[in-house]
A = this chain, B = another copy of it.
Amino acid sequence: MKNTTVTGPKGFLAAGISCGIKKSGNKDIGIISCPTGAKAAAVFTTNKVVSAAVTICKKHGKSASIEAVVVNSGNANTCTGKPGIKNAETMCKTAAQLVDAKPNQVLIASTGIIGHQLPMGKVTTGIILAAAQLANSPKAGDDFAHSIMTTDTKCKQAFKTINISGAEIKIAGTTKGAGMIAPNMATTLCFITTDANITKPLLQTALKNAVGQSLNKLTVDGHQSTNDTAIILASGLAENKIINKTDLRYKKFSAAVSDLCTDLAKQMALDAEGATRMFTVIINGAASKTEAVKAARAVADYALVKCAIHGGDPNWGRIICAVGSCGVKINPNKLSCSLGNTVVFKNGRPVKFDPKKVSKVIKQKEHKITINLGAGKHSDFCYGCDLSKAYVTINADYHT
């Protein structure tokens, strides 16, 4: 059996267990370890309120060699003041002792309910239990992937193999959630392992670029959470000639990480709370890159657009209204819109089309909305999902 989990790339062990943070009894502590030490890169939420885990992870992320990542689900360790910071540090210390590393060689992430202190008795026992089960089997990788889930209905994993100068390089990733769609800010966490041999700065550049084109292009309800964290670990054991400049080898590696993250982002869109389908908003003709990004996100976040897509309604008027109101430059006489491949609005005027045919396109698992603002030459895109009654049920009926 081919190992396509985070333990697939050479040099990684993993585990995922239940320690009782979640009342459901589902897995809630996970560890990835790299006994030979990995180069690490990470990107974090830009929310000004952040989890204690994010604060500590940012600090430890500077270490030259990382030996473990410890994650808990079921509690975000956010808005927990100084005790929260102390608990995050304790998690790193506990894991460090067990894998024979220094605390600053351990990265950390938390996800779940906000404003509650971690049950540290359970957490510490959980870390000990998980560390005892560390293995490089596909099952161990799967267990880890399950341990980071909150309201996800599906476990999300992706795997890629590329060849760089004769060496086979593996890249594996797992993620959870989608934006801030879960009941209590359960958030996007993403963990990627690779056996590529690459410098730390280029690993950071590749991750930042990949997340920018994938996870950061996905909006479910429009906001970043307090806990968002994406981490990549590179063991270097594929023994390729080190990737140390932005040449073709780097580009191949970087593209593979981007593809992997896009795969994960689309899995998240389709598993977003209440979502039944996803869509890609493509903005062309923007006056600047910033405005293209802004317009794409405005359409994908627009509740009336999301509702129309849920209903399979080719209601392009709501799309035009969204771009018109988001503050970007438009040329009303050149403004155009297509749903799938059908032009529905061109140069500021409606175009006759077959609504039944276009409705079928919208009802697919995935479709494209293309808008030309007629104001310049810049483009960007964004992923979104539909808004259903189930989203409201999940988020209104849940009680803290």
Please, which residues of chain B bring their CB within 8 A of the CB of A326? 223
Interface-facing stretch out of A138-146, A198-206, A390-398: A390-398
Interface-facing stretch out of A210-218, A247-255, A314-322: A314-322
A302 near B: Cβ within 8 Å? yes
Contact B318 A185 (CB under 8 A): yes
Contact A348 B115 (CB under 8 A): no
Interface flags, A36-52, vs B, CB<8A=1, else 0:
00000000011111100
> How many angstroms between the C-alpha atoms of A46 and B328 in the bound complex?
12
Please, which residues of chain B bring their CB within 8 A of the CB of A310? 392, 396
> How many angstroms between the C-alpha atoms of A184 and B307 in the bound complex?
12
Contact B224 A395 (CB under 8 A): no
Q: Which of B49, B320, B398 contacts A335 (CB 8 A)?
A: B49
> How many angstroms between the C-alpha atoms of A325 and B50 in the bound complex?
10
Q: How near does chain B come to A58, taking the closest CB pair, in angstroms?
A: 14
Contact A314 B400 (CB under 8 A): yes
A119 near B: Cβ within 8 Å? no
- Given A345-B79, A392-B388, A392-B389, do A321 and B115 touch, yes or no (CB 8 Å)? no
- Given A223-B322, A348-B79, A395-B308, do A315 and B400 touch, yes or no (CB 8 Å)? yes
Q: A48-B332, A50-B324, A310-B396 are in contact. List 14 more A-B contacts (CB 8 A).
A: A49-B323, A79-B317, A113-B317, A184-B315, A223-B322, A225-B325, A226-B325, A303-B395, A307-B391, A310-B392, A311-B395, A311-B398, A317-B400, A392-B392
